[in-house]
Amino acid sequence: MHGGGARRWGYLLVLPVAVFAIATARADTLADVRERGFLRCGVIEGSPGYSTLNDKGERVGFDIDHCKTISAAVFGKVSIEFVPITPNTVFTLLQSGGIDIFPGGATWSFTRDTTMGLDFTGVYMWAGQGFVVHKALGVSRVAELDGATICVAQGTTLEQNLADYFDANGLRYTAITFADIDKGLQAYRADRCDAFTNERVSTAGRISVWPDREDHVILDEVISKEPMAALVRQDDPRWRDIALWSFNVRIAAEELGINQANVSRMRDESDNQEVRRLLGVQGSFGERLGLSNDWAYDIIRIVGNSEDMWNRHFAPLGVSRGLNRTWRDGGLMSALPFR
Amino acid sequence: MRRTWIYQALLLAAIVAALGLIVSATNANLSRLGVETSIDFLWRRAGFEISQSLIPFNANSTIARAFVVALLNTLVLAAAAIVGASVLGLIVGTARLSRNWLVSQLATTYVELFRNIPSLLQIFFWYLVVLRSLPGFRDSLSLGEAARLNNRGLYLAAPEIMTGGGWIAAGFVVAIAAIIGLARWARHRRLVSGRAFPVTVTAIALLVAVPWLAALLGGAALDWDVPQAGRFGYEGGIVIMPEFMALVAGLSVYNATYIGEIVRSGFAAIPRGQVEAADALGLSRWLSFRLVLFPQALRVIIPPLTTVYLNLFKATSLAAAIAYPEIVSVFVGTVNNLVGQPVIIMGITLIIYVLVSLAIAVFMNWYNRRIALTRA
């Protein structure tokens, strides 16, 4: 679903969804989730960094933390049923109420937003098509790949992005096109190609388990922009607000200097008005969403701010944060104001 | 008589009706989902690159051209694998009949081993063997400037005719005409006088000498496009991709097991008396093989061989698994991802496979009739 997967299946997904895109009458997801006692969260499995199992057999990853964020906002604790999904089933499952939210990294595009009866809830990850290269080549920028052989997987946009970018920049290359990502990565590893191109962060996840990981470099640049956002049903504006603002809490927390370690101290000691509003010391922001006033405090206590999450899941994979830094640090992440 | 005719007509009508129903239902469903069913997409800009093309192709070419490139890649692969499998199969088949115990046991082991492994696995295996066993770019094996081999492929110097190409072409035409005349004359002389003429050697000499002389006469200039070392590998010349090598190896080795068995059965079908008669005539072992045994074995070999060739041609679609840009990979894979018209694209691809398979079958049947025993 991340990167190549999402785009590869893109057009297939639209068809069944278009058929099933009938607005359902029920529209109080929060009440349903409360009554049920747990959140149903759709997860793609086996994508290190995003969603995988740790050595204790627990689900970990950026997507998993996104589920935990919503659960923390609603229940003040982790109470989730993870529903393993495939790219083929996810949109139908979401439509029919089988899951309450899907944080698995679907690219927010016009067609998806307008034809599927689903809503996106804020870009939580700026992904993009990037390159992994053999370190021995000493390449540090895409422009230096002039004349290189590049392995790529078939996808609705991967090959075209590659051709467009190299053409626009006057670079020559040879594309070796594989039917799936793993075969392409294997061939790259066997030195069939100088570079492999796919969604940058998920590539980092896939190669993180290689014993020879140190011999490969993931270039900082991306040649396409893939804004990923969690999906909810379109028929429940309050639930969409909860998903959007819960996620926004993590960025606001980073901007305000609140993190998992200091959140309790900040609640007790800070005299910044926005911090006090956010953490429920002042005002009743949580109640306006139908939640408790501790909702943001619980989110930060349980999953931390956006930097905590990055450091937990992606930093160990050797992925630089790039566009996913806050705007103050030159990234695109920017909190909507809590006022 | 009349009744069977009625039943046949009814059956035909039922089949046509069923097909019509499927087509109209598919069309209705596709238009309901807003999926196009025209083939206009063929004239759109492709927007992707293909790693091997026999005709000029780049991202600005049309999808129709990409289709032709992919089809040519399929045909080249099939041709190379058919030659490879036939040569290997002939060797294995005759080796199995060898009186040398070691040779026949080796051939038997070969057949039993490779016939019993799925060909897709063999292709993956050979791909890994090719990629892992060949050296990297900096340690390329080289034969001077003419050929270089590394894990990115075999790079050959390509001849580029600068001027006087017409003279060279004319030389080839003259040489081929001379060879045909020579073969007829030699055959006539052998029938009349019994004296043989070394046609093969002369033909090769003619094929080299005549165009070369023509080039000298016409002042033709030939330049070689020699692969040059770039930062990442060799560039220029002719490249034979590792995927192509692995596929030819995999498909040849697998299908040679079947061809070997067919060849063996062909020779086993020749009555013992034929060998003895050839011996009695004082023919050498080579002449007895070439003139007596092989032509008779061929009559038994050709019909089942046609089946193997057809299977081999269809099996080239496995190439999609290892990034060789043949028709399934380029058309059903990349192009379908791009335009999202699976029904039309699958349809075109299926029709192409049927047409080429029929062409192979027609040729083999023609050849079979030509060599068949006739009451002359």
| Residues A180 and A196 placed together within one structural domain of the fold | yes
Q: Which domain holds residue A74?
A: 4-127+226-329
Percent of chain B with pLDDT over 70: 97
Q: Any CB–CB contact under 8 A between B236 and chain A?
A: no
Give the nearest chain A residue to B242 (CA atoms): A192
Per the domain annotation, does B231 fall within a domain? no
| Residues A192 and A102 placed together within one structural domain of the fold | no
Task: Give the pLDDT of residue A19.
Answer: 40
- Closest by CA to A45, choosing from A26, A28, A66, A60, is A60
Task: Give the pLDDT of residue B32.
Answer: 67
Task: Give the pLDDT of residue B375.
Answer: 58
- Computed on alpha carbons and rounded to an integer, the radius of gyration of chain A in Å comes to 21
Q: Any CB–CB contact under 8 A between B129 and chain A?
A: no
Contact (Cβ atoms closer than 8 angstroms) between residue A155 and residue B333: no
- Closest by CA to B263, choosing from B142, B96, B127, B33, is B96
Give the nearest chain A residue to B151 (CA atoms): A192
| Residues A123 and A271 placed together within one structural domain of the fold | yes
Q: Which domain holds residue B187?
A: 158-222
Per the domain annotation, does A261 fall within a domain? yes
Bridge partner list, A149: A174
ipTM: 0.77
Q: Among the three residues A218, A235, A262, which one is the final residue of a domain in this structure?
A: A218
| Residues A104 and A234 placed together within one structural domain of the fold | yes
| Residues A190 and A201 placed together within one structural domain of the fold | yes
Task: Give the pLDDT of residue A328.
Answer: 92
Number of domains in chain A: 2
| Residues B198 and B74 placed together within one structural domain of the fold | no
Q: Is the pLDDT of residue A7 over 50?
A: no
Percent of chain B with pLDDT over 90: 50
- Cβ neighbours for B71, distance < 8 A, ≥ 6 positions apart: B327, B352
Q: Is the pLDDT of residue B300 over 80?
A: yes
Residue A257 Ramachandran class (φ > 0 left, ψ -120 to 50 alpha, else beta) = left
CA A239 to chain centre: 19
Q: Any CB–CB contact under 8 A between A188 and chain B?
A: no
| A–B CB contacts, 8 A cutoff, strictly below | 92
Per the domain annotation, does A339 fall within a domain? no
Measure CB to CB from residue B49 to each of A11, A145, A163 and give the nearest one: A163
Task: Give the pLDDT of residue A10.
Answer: 42
| Residues B72 and B194 placed together within one structural domain of the fold | no
| Residues B122 and B61 placed together within one structural domain of the fold | yes
| Residues B269 and B323 placed together within one structural domain of the fold | yes
- Cβ neighbours for B44, distance < 8 A, ≥ 6 positions apart: B62, B63, B339
| Residues A161 and A192 placed together within one structural domain of the fold | yes
| Cα separation, B354 vs B359, whole angstroms | 9
Q: Residue B233 and residue A147: Cβ atoms within 8 Å?
A: yes
| Residues A116 and A230 placed together within one structural domain of the fold | yes
| Cα separation, B260 vs B273, whole angstroms | 23
Per the domain annotation, does B151 fall within a domain? no
Per the domain annotation, does B277 fall within a domain? yes
Q: Residue A151 and residue B230: Cβ atoms within 8 Å?
A: no
How close does chain B come to A213, measured CA to CA in Å?
A: 18
| Residues B53 and B101 placed together within one structural domain of the fold | yes
Three-state secondary structure string covering B216-227: HHHCCEEEEECC
Number of domains in chain B: 3
Q: What is the DSSP letter of A194?
A: S
Task: Give the pLDDT of residue A21.
Answer: 40
| Residues B249 and B317 placed together within one structural domain of the fold | yes
- Average of pLDDT values for B348-367? 94
pLDDT band for A14, please (50, 70, 90 cuts): very low
Per the domain annotation, does B234 fall within a domain? no
- Average of pLDDT values for B119-135? 90
Q: Among the three residues A218, A241, A271, which one is the final residue of a domain in this structure?
A: A218
Range of lowest pLDDT (A276-280, B310-314, B368-372): B368-372
- Cβ neighbours for B299, distance < 8 A, ≥ 6 positions apart: B266, B368, B371, B372, B373
| Residues B354 and B287 placed together within one structural domain of the fold | yes
B30-48 tens-digit pLDDT? 776 666 677 888 998 888 8
Per the domain annotation, does B353 fall within a domain? yes
Encoding tokens for residue B1?
A: 């008589």
Task: Give the pLDDT of residue B208.
Answer: 87
Q: Residue A149 and residue B232: Cβ atoms within 8 Å?
A: yes
Alpha helices in chain B (DSSP H): 2-32, 63-96, 101-114, 119-133, 165-193, 199-218, 242-268, 272-280, 285-287, 294-315, 327, 336-339, 342-371
Measure CB to CB from residue B329 to each of A164, A177, A192 and give the nearest one: A177
| Residues B78 and B16 placed together within one structural domain of the fold | no
| Residues B270 and B363 placed together within one structural domain of the fold | yes
DSSP B58-80: -TTSBHHHHHHHHHHHHHHHHHH
Task: Give the pLDDT of residue B41.
Answer: 87
| Residues A157 and A112 placed together within one structural domain of the fold | no
Q: Any CB–CB contact under 8 A between A239 and chain B?
A: no
| Residues A97 and A8 placed together within one structural domain of the fold | yes
Q: Is the pLDDT of residue B283 over 50?
A: yes
Chain B residues in contact with A171 by the CB 8 A cut-off are none
Chain B residues in contact with A179 by the CB 8 A cut-off are 320-321, 323, 329, 333
| Residues B216 and B93 placed together within one structural domain of the fold | no
Per the domain annotation, does B271 fall within a domain? yes
Per the domain annotation, does A172 fall within a domain? yes
Task: Give the pLDDT of residue A251.
Answer: 96
Per the domain annotation, does A233 fall within a domain? yes
Range of lowest pLDDT (A68-82, A121-135, A296-310, B160-174): B160-174
| Residues A24 and A157 placed together within one structural domain of the fold | no
Q: Among the three residues B193, B222, B251, which one is the final residue of a domain in this structure?
A: B222
Residue B117 burial (CB count, 10 A): 14
**Across chain B, what does the average pLDDT equal?**
89
- Residue A155: which CATH number? 3.40.190.10
More confident residue, B39 or B262: B262
Per the domain annotation, does A241 fall within a domain? yes
How close does chain A come to B131, measured CA to CA in Å?
A: 6
Q: Any CB–CB contact under 8 A between A189 and chain B?
A: no
Task: Give the pLDDT of residue B230.
Answer: 84
pLDDT band for A17, please (50, 70, 90 cuts): very low
| Residues B285 and B333 placed together within one structural domain of the fold | yes
Chain B residues in contact with A148 by the CB 8 A cut-off are 231-232
Contact (Cβ atoms closer than 8 angstroms) between residue A294 and residue A73: no
Query: b/e map of B168-190 (b: 16 or more CB within 10 Å)?
Result: bebbeeebeeebeeeeeebeeee
Task: Give the pLDDT of residue A171.
Answer: 92
pLDDT band for A9, please (50, 70, 90 cuts): very low
Q: Any CB–CB contact under 8 A between A140 and chain B?
A: no
Per the domain annotation, does B137 fall within a domain? no
- Average of pLDDT values for B215-222? 76
**Across chain A, what does the average pLDDT equal?**
87
| Residues B121 and B259 placed together within one structural domain of the fold | yes
| Residues A152 and A230 placed together within one structural domain of the fold | no
pLDDT band for B2, please (50, 70, 90 cuts): confident
- Residue B76: which CATH number? 1.10.3720.10
| Residues A40 and A183 placed together within one structural domain of the fold | no
Q: Any CB–CB contact under 8 A between A171 and chain B?
A: no
How close does chain B come to A204, measured CA to CA in Å?
A: 22
Per the domain annotation, does B23 fall within a domain? yes
A225-275 tens-digit pLDDT? 888 899 998 889 999 999 999 999 999 999 999 999 999 999 999 999 999
A141-156 tens-digit pLDDT? 999 999 999 999 886 6
Q: Among the three residues A173, A202, A218, which one is the final residue of a domain in this structure?
A: A218
Encoding tokens for residue B303?
A: 């019909």
Q: Is the pLDDT of residue B157 over 60?
A: yes
